[in-house]
Structure 1
Amino acid sequence: MKFVQIIDYKTERSDDMNQLMDKWVEQTKGKRTATHNIIGKDRSQANHYVEIVEFPSHEEAMKNSHLPETDRIFQEMVALCDGMPSFTDLDVVREEQLNAATARRFFHEVAVGGNLDTVDELFASDYRDHDTFKEEESTVGADVIRSDVTSWRDAFDFRFDLDRQVSEGDDVVTLWTWTGTHKGEFMGIAPTGQQCTMTGTTIFRFQDGKIQEGWWHMDAMGLMRQLGAIG
């Protein structure tokens, strides 16, 4: 179970505190067990800060706290604070990456499920698409998704296995495996009945909760080879 520690403190020496955090990162390289660190500044109280540190588990957090470097940095941190920092220890009981969930909805509901009515809910009206399978460098508009999904569904019965997703900032990266049976004309190739597989990666950039831009990278040559279009 993931574990999160929240450190609440006040300081007038934020620059010194940042330098101290950089020092801790450098000194604990290869030894620390913390996986994610966020520091937020209170908009209504300029000297008030909240730090959130994520660990794979409470046990890993304890290993981190027992590092001699962590203890030394903590003492220096206290010296920079206005009073003693407070600590809150939390076991993570629910975690949801909302943008990642939206990306999964595209693959499951739109691409495989064929629910084109969902496109306007998931994609911005001025969505920009970049696809290595196409000659155009990019195309604009949510209708490109409707057109692409329709074309692929007309040509194949297929599914997506989402092998891995990584979310950072406004971007969601999905590594997928596509498996389809060739049932209709595809890029001038008559139906072959061939079952094909293809791996690829999709990067979606989100803005205001919707997919604003997408990049598609896939093994197009491998697919065409399986369809007998190239040797």
Structure 2
Amino acid sequence: MTFVQVIDCRTSKVDELNKLMDNWVEATRGKRTATHSMVGRDRSDPTHVVEIVEFPSYEEAMRNSHLPETDRIFQELVAACDEAPRFTDLEVLRDEQLNKAVVRRFFEKVANERDLDAVDDLCTADYRHHDPSMSSYDLGAEQAKQEYREFLEAFEQTFTVESLTAEGDTVCARLTYEGRHVGAYRGMQPTEREISSTCQATFRLEGGRIAESWWNSDDLGVIKQLGVYAS
């Protein structure tokens, strides 16, 4: 279970605290078990600094705290604070990564359930789709829906989201898909051949909706599987 440690500090030496964090990151390279660290300062009290550190589990957090480098930096942190830091240890009960959930729903509804109207709910009105395999690298929502439909109906794919990685307003997806060539597609008549391939896509979100996306897929690999191209 994910474990989070919250460290409350009172200090007039914020720059020194930042340097200590940099030193800890460098000193524990290849050793630390922390997966995410964030430092924030209270807008209403500039001497109130909070660090939030995430670990895969409580046990991994304990391994991290027992590193000699962690202990040394901690002692220096205490010296830089105006009063003893306060620690809050949290077992994470719920972790909603909302942007990732929107992207996952995009593949569930649009790609796998063939609900093209879901694009209107999941994407912004000025959504832009960027894909070198489409008729244009810059498509609006309506044109993108039309070309999605042609592609999905021609190959009857099932998409699997292998991984999603989120940072800020951006979500990156790694995908695999399997299908069968059952319909005409860009001049290619149905071959009834089965296909499997990989795809990567990056999404930018605004206000909980997808505003822009960039796609890269193994189109040459698919063409080879259809017997259209011989290497």
TM-score by length of 1: 0.95
Which residue number corresponds to residue 205 of structure 1?
204
Structure 2 unaligned runs (5+)? Answer: none
Q: What stretches of structure 1 move > 3 A for 4+ residues in a row?
A: none
The sequence identity of aligned pairs, in percent, is 50
**Contact 1:201/1:218 (<8 A) preserved:** yes
Counterpart residue identity of residue 147, structure 1 = Q
2:105 alignment partner in structure 1:
105
In structure 1, how many angstroms separate the alpha carbons of the residues matched to 2:135 and 2:110?
Answer: 24
1:38: Cα distance to partner?
0.6
**Structure 1: 5+ residue runs without aligned partners?**
none
Alignment partner of 1:49 is 2:46:
no
Aligned to 1:164: 163
SS of match in other structure, 1:76: helix
Cross-structure match for 2:9: 9
Matched, 1:61 2:61: yes
Per the TM alignment, residue 103 of structure 1 is displaced from its structure 2 partner at its CA by 0.5
Q: Take 2:114 and 2:135, find their aligned partners in 1: how far apart are those partners?
A: 25
d(CA) in 1 for partners of 2:41 and 2:174?
A: 35
Q: 1:89 to 1:25 in 2, by over 3 A?
A: same
Query: Counterpart of 1:164 in 2: which secondary structure?
Result: strand
Q: Is the 8 A contact 1:110 1:118 kept in 2?
A: yes
Instruction: Write the letter of the residue equivalent to 1:214.
Output: S
How large is the Cα RMSD of the aligned pairs? Answer: 1.3
In 2, are the aligned partners of 1:119 and 1:145 still within 8 Å (CA)? no
Please state if 1:72 is matched with 2:77: no
Q: Give, in whole Å, the separation in 2 of the partners of 1:134 and 1:122.
A: 20
Which residue matches 2:87? 87
> Once the 2 structures are TM-superposed, how far is the Cα of residue 135 of structure 1 from its aligned partner?
5.4
TM-score (norm 2): 0.95
Number of residue pairs the alignment of both structures matches: 230
Letter of the 2:192 counterpart: G
Name the amino acid aligned to 1:195: E
